[in-house]
Amino acid sequence: MKLGRFFSLVTVIALMGLAGIGRAQVGKSLGLLDVNSAPVKQLASLPHMSLDVVRSIAAARPFDSAVALNKHLLAQKLTQEQADAFYAKAFVHINLNTASAEEIMLIPGAGKKMAHEFEEYRPWKSWEQFDKEIGKYVGKEETARLAQYCFIPINVNKATEPDLSTIPGLKAETVGQLTKGRPWKSIDDLKKELAKTSDEKEAARVARFLVAE
């Protein structure tokens, strides 16, 4: 193979890899745990987590929003400051295209400015778009930190297996189930099918990351 052709092939492969990363629906974790799927033992090691609080989280999950998690923690007698310290380590990912300002502002360090910017650029279609637009305001490092708290809903009928695998805690068997069941006519149909092999809670947890179009 000629050298020029070889490098062209390498470039194409690299670009394909980057494209796959761009389609990944959950922001790359920099150590942040997903509250809905993290092992109880890991949650118990985080700030202000007593055994009783962790047990209550496990019993109540999956939380359908960060706001629901926040209400739960406050009901467990944590202060908002203690809850915020917990969110630096674990969170319920927010949907970039539907999250309320209240939900966005629960992300540590986000504030009203980011709540406005997150809403301003909707609909979010890729992480390249997020990096470009949010990076204008806070720079590359902070943009990456914010991204790990978020997800961009993905079309379950078109997503690749690597894309689907970005859903926190998703088992390989479930990835296969999602791809083999295509085309899904609706998310409700998908939840009913997933519930047959797991349970309704797990089906709801997975389904919130997806759309069927």
pLDDT in tens, 123-147: 999 999 999 999 999 999 999 999 9
Distance CA 91, CA 107 (A): 8
Percent of the chain with pLDDT over 90: 88
CA atoms within 13 A of residue 193's CA, in its CB half-sphere: 18
Residues in the chain predicted with pLDDT less than 50, given as ranges, are 1-22
Question: pTM to 2 decimals?
Answer: 0.87
Question: Which pLDDT value is given to residue 213?
Answer: 86
Question: Which pLDDT value is given to residue 5?
Answer: 46
What would the pLDDT profile of 172-184 be if each residue is shown by its tens digit?
A: 999 999 999 999 9
Question: Which pLDDT value is given to residue 78?
Answer: 98
* CA dihedral of residues 14, 138, 84, 65 (deg, nearest 10): -60
Q: Which distant-in-sequence residues (6+ apart) come within 8 Å of 187 by Cβ?
A: 156, 207, 210, 211, 212
Using the Cα atoms of residue 32, residue 67, residue 121 and residue 170 in order, give the sign of their dihedral.
Answer: positive
Cβ count near 160 (within 10 Å): 14
Question: Which pLDDT value is given to residue 23?
Answer: 53
Distance CA 115, CA 102 (A): 8
Dmax over Cα atoms in the chain, in whole Å?
A: 68
Token look-up 């033992």 returns 41
